[in-house]
Amino acid sequence: MKDNNKKKKVVITYGTYDMLHIGHINVLKRSKALGDYLIVGVTSEDFDRSRGKLGVFQNTAKRVKAIEKLGFVDKVIVERHQDQKAEDMVEYDVDIFAIGDDWVGKFDYLNEFTHVEYLPRTKGISSTELREERLETINLGIIGMGRDTERFIDEVKHVPAIQPTSLYDNDKKKVDKFIKTAPFKYGYDDFDTFLDSSIDAVFVDSSVDRHYNHISKALKAGKHVLAENPLALDKEEVADLQALAKKHKCLLLSALKTAFLPAFCQLLIQLQDGVIGDIKEVRATFTSLYKEKKYTEQFLKQGATNTMLSYPSLLITKVLGPRDSVTFFDQRHYGYDFSNRAITIHKDQTIGLATVATGMKSEGDAVISGTKGYVYIPAPWWLTKSFEFRFEDPNKSFTYNYEYEGNGLRYMISEFASLIQRGKKKSERLTPSDMREINDLIVEYNEQADRYPQGTV
């Protein structure tokens, strides 16, 4: 007689499952054969990126849907962080953790929670090779030789299917000198000729006052654009750029690297669970003594607001949403602001406090305050690696730790390339409305600053 009360043997496995193929299916079938009930964890895009997998073609939702369609899979979950496997094994009372034998020994520590079984992979099938066959290389042009150009070039090497091929700057001598040591085939000092070359997309790192002209011409030429903030110094110009991107079916993305860091994205997900209650205030500080870093006077004259406010504004906007009003408290010297504090009021009288400076130094941390607790992000918060949930009872506090590789730019470049490859015209991590809100804050300051006498505080 069959014992209906007998516990099902639960098997769990994890993977990216990008462009699901026979190799994936064979491992999943072998996993199911080990027990009665198969749970499949599909890694999220942010978790993949935190592990250095930057070339995933399909988004999380598509990959989950593909696994759900397999008739022998009983449950699909999303894996979001490195400690989740152990948590899942306890939650689902797992009997066997199955994984491909290319990971032999890597997960032995999980034998503490369940039995680990390494399964043979299908020979001759490679997700990486299939992905490379599917993806066309994006030829990238770089406009300007700003403060991030060299770091950008170093980071783009780590992102599959995107290749810098052309450089533009109006200083021909600088261009000729730079391309001798950089991976460019071509250098230009004529912008129209640069745009007529065989590039698919551009990265704009020119001076702030030239952004609108460079971005608008690139979009009209049908090029996808990744541009340093602010996109423009006029609200109508920002709206025009977004309209041009839509008209010419191009992607326009602000180069705010924080928005794409795995830890920052995970923070926003965690906040949605209401762990710290109703959020009432967000405070973020970003200061840097650029003179000590040998930045030019021309760069400093762009002002702390233009060069830095986008980052605190990003955190405040993503957490609190659009603002109802703003008040600026700036300090100016020789006609430009060397520090500024923007206090914004949002829905339900929530408050944002953004502090930026190039002429003074302060702790570059951030705090998100709620009715049950708060989140502390240590300096430099804009290069988010960890964040701590803190409460009245310190014993209830907990911390999330992540790593990122390089200087963080590769995650932004990966998002840009991935959206182009997928035919997407906007990012969920940094939406067009996010970009408008952040950019308009800078525009409002510049409109007010023009009324101040030069050299006053």
Looking at residue 407, what DSSP letter applies?
T
Q: In this structure, is the dihedral angle defined by the CA atoms of residues 241, 316, 304 and 290, taken in order, positive or negative?
A: negative
- pLDDT digits over 266-283, tens only? 999 999 989 999 999 999
Give the pLDDT mean for 7-34.
Answer: 92
Segments of 348-444 assigned E as strands:
351-357, 366-370, 373-377, 386-391, 398-401
Give the pLDDT mean for 192-207.
Answer: 93
pLDDT at 124 over 70: no
What pLDDT was estimated at residue 7? Answer: 80
> CATH top-level class for 135-256?
alpha beta
Q: In this structure, is the dihedral angle defined by the CA atoms of residues 227, 228, 230 and 234, taken in order, positive or negative?
A: negative
What pLDDT was estimated at residue 436? Answer: 96
Give the pLDDT mean for 319-332.
Answer: 96
pLDDT at 301 over 80: no
What pLDDT was estimated at residue 379? Answer: 97
What pLDDT was estimated at residue 51? Answer: 79
Q: Are 50 and 21 in contact (CB under 8 A)?
A: no
The yes/no answer on whether domain 262-403+427-449 falls in CATH 3.40.50.800 is no
Give the confidence band of 453 by pLDDT, cuts at 50, 70, 90.
very low
Give the confidence band of 1 by pLDDT, cuts at 50, 70, 90.
very low
Structure tokens at 269: 């997900």
Q: Which residue spans of the chain are classified as CATH 3.40.50.620?
A: 10-129
Give the confidence band of 391 by pLDDT, cuts at 50, 70, 90.
very high
Cα dihedral 431→51→404→164 (10° resolution):
-70
- pLDDT digits over 62-73, tens only? 999 999 999 999
Q: Are 13 and 41 in contact (CB under 8 A)?
A: yes
What pLDDT was estimated at residue 185? Answer: 85
Give the confidence band of 259 by pLDDT, cuts at 50, 70, 90.
very high
pLDDT at 294 over 80: no
What pLDDT was estimated at residue 456? Answer: 33
pLDDT at 457 over 70: no
Q: Average pLDDT over the chain, rounded to whole?
A: 89
Angstrom distance (rounded) from CA 257 to CA 259: 5
What pLDDT was estimated at residue 299? Answer: 65
What pLDDT was estimated at residue 450? Answer: 65
Q: Are 146 and 206 in contact (CB under 8 A)?
A: yes
Q: Are 12 and 101 in contact (CB under 8 A)?
A: no
**CATH architecture under which domain 10-129 falls:** 3-Layer(aba) Sandwich (3.40)
pLDDT at 165 over 80: yes
pLDDT at 52 over 80: no
Whether cis (ω within 30° of 0) applies to the bond prior to 120 is no
7 contact partners, CB below 8 Å, separation of at least 6? 93
Structure tokens at 101: 């034998």
Give the pLDDT mean for 108-134.
Answer: 76
The H or E element that residue 427 is part of is none
Picking from 12-21, 175-184, 257-266, 294-303, which range would have the lowest pLDDT averaged per residue? Answer: 294-303
Q: What percent of the chain has pLDDT over 70?
A: 91
Q: Which residue spans of the chain are classified as CATH 3.30.360.10?
A: 262-403+427-449
pLDDT at 434 over 80: yes
Which DSSP string corresponds to 78-137? EE-STTHHHHHHHHTT-SEEEEEGGGTTTTGGGGGTSEEEEEPPPTT--HHHHHHHHPPP
Give the confidence band of 201 by pLDDT, cuts at 50, 70, 90.
very high
Q: Which residue spans of the chain are classified as CATH 3.40.50.720?
A: 135-256
Structure tokens at 185: 């085939």
333 contact partners, CB below 8 Å, separation of at least 6? 359, 455
Give the pLDDT mean for 174-201.
Answer: 89
Give the pLDDT mean for 34-47.
Answer: 94
Q: Are 438 and 316 in contact (CB under 8 A)?
A: no
